[in-house]
Chain A
Amino acid sequence: MHPHAYINSIHSISPYASDAPARAGLLSALEPAYAPVLNPAELRRTPRLVKMGLYAATRCLADAGLDHIDAITVGSGLGSFDGFEKFETSLLAQAEDTVPPTPFIQSLDNAVAGQLALKLQCHGYNMTYTHRGFSFETALLDGLLLLTEPDGPADVLVGGLDETTPTYAALLHQAGHVKNPDKLGKVEHSRTPGVLPGEGATFLVLSSARRPGTLATVRAVRTLFSPRTALEVEQTVAALLREQHLTPADLDLVLLGHSGDHAHDQKLRAVEASLPDTPREYFKNYCGEYHTATAFAVWLAVRRFAGAAAELSERTPYPKNCLIINQYRDANYSFIFLTQD
């Protein structure tokens, strides 16, 4: 039997519903007012990504009715890039002499999980994964496995978060990874190189037990590194569906991670052609491309389960299952299967 677990709450800070792409060329997260959730010391000392993570995690725990958590697993491709920039800038400005300690402390990839542990007084398992396009998936897998341990926790706080700062966006642009503003459009229609950079912070409470308010069940998480052909990706999808005793016709919704880069999306286009009748949505139109965009996709799937998919398909206004298929730079392919039952 494959490990599965229940999502009992989820909160995401994302660019969803933002009109930013037409204006800025990158999708910026719609940040909340942090003051009701973060204390003054956290507000003044915490860089943007850590604030986003602390806020999303705190809201998530509150929604789940939990005042403590047994374990924390977080995925982040880059950690707090803003903190890193400040640290590096001061290092250069001060000629590697005395530099402010706070940006250094906060720039570390595990700053979010560490700050959360301090805030929640969680002395249990605490792990951060920085596995590029597999960062969130690895944190999610770790959470699933923790819940199967004989003396494991009952609930795990799992998160995925990354930010795109102006400097990072400029570096991506220099490297030719950003789409020209005049080529912006829906990712599924793109036939040009480059992506629309995005960002977001998503946390969920993953539990071993179903509760009255359970939002979804995580049934499977798979990763595939650098497949040579689209067939390998198609075979992974087919194997995952077989394990779940499903056929492609049984899928209510597929969330596809086309990035808008025509070369990187080739294999996903072949995969979606193999699922011709399945209602689909391209989640990076909402959140942009970043290492942990699949965390946002999980949030979107839960939202669709709740009935926000009526505009997608008359056949499945309330989907009962959803397969997320993602690619990051044609290297990191991941597959997350969720159900609502």
Chain B
Amino acid sequence: MSTLTEQLKNQIIQELNLVDINPADVNPDAPLFDYDGLGLDSIDALELTVILSKHYGIKVTDPAKMKQAFFSLNTLADFITEHQAAAVAA
């Protein structure tokens, strides 16, 4: 598991106050918005956009594109990595 994925996992658990979740038990490929994963809901999606802005400087401008990015921890880490690479290239 990448350092970024691990960092994201801890940030999500802390900021979304997932009190009973042990980071070691979270599967980075499991769907975030499904009870097989973290069981997040629409308000949590807004909280995720705040995490992207606060910790990674990423502004969500096209919510439609976020469905894929918000699928799992790993897809979210990929989205951040791509965004940061694009920012460096620019």
Question: Which residues of A are in contact with B by a Cβ distance under 8 Å?
Answer: 40-41, 43-45, 94, 97-102, 105
Beyond A45-B43, A105-B43, whether A100 also contacts B50 by CB under 8 A is yes
Within 8 A of A (CB), among B1-28: 15-20
Contacts of B47 in A (CB 8 A): 100-102
Within 8 A of A (CB), among B49-82: 49-50, 53-54, 59
Query: Cβ of A94 and Cβ of B54 under 8 Å apart?
Result: yes
Contacts of B50 in A (CB 8 A): 98-101
Query: Cβ of A102 and Cβ of B53 under 8 Å apart?
Result: no
Query: Cβ of A100 and Cβ of B53 under 8 Å apart?
Result: no
Chain B residues within 8 Å of chain A by Cβ, number = 16
Interface of A: prevailing SS: helix
Residue of A nearest to B46 (CB): A101
Query: Cβ of B17 and Cβ of A45 under 8 Å apart?
Result: yes
Beyond A40-B20, A44-B17, A45-B17, whether A98 also contacts B43 by CB under 8 A is no
Question: Which residues of B are in contact with A by a Cβ distance under 8 Å?
Answer: 15-20, 39, 41, 43, 46-47, 49-50, 53-54, 59
Shortest Cβ distance from residue A209 to the other chain B in the assembled complex, whole angstroms: 39
Alpha-carbon separation in the docked complex, A45 to B19 (Å): 10
Alpha-carbon separation in the docked complex, A40 to B41 (Å): 13
Contacts of B53 in A (CB 8 A): 94, 97-98
Contacts of B43 in A (CB 8 A): 45, 101-102, 105
Contacts of A45 in B (CB 8 A): 17, 43
Among B19, B39, B41, B54, which residue has its beta carbon within 8 angstroms of that of A98?
B54
Q: Can you give 16 contacting A-B residue pairs, CB < 8 Å?
A: A40-B20, A41-B41, A43-B19, A44-B16, A44-B18, A44-B19, A45-B43, A98-B50, A98-B53, A98-B59, A100-B46, A100-B47, A100-B50, A101-B46, A101-B50, A102-B43
Shortest Cβ distance from residue A34 to the other chain B in the assembled complex, whole angstroms: 11
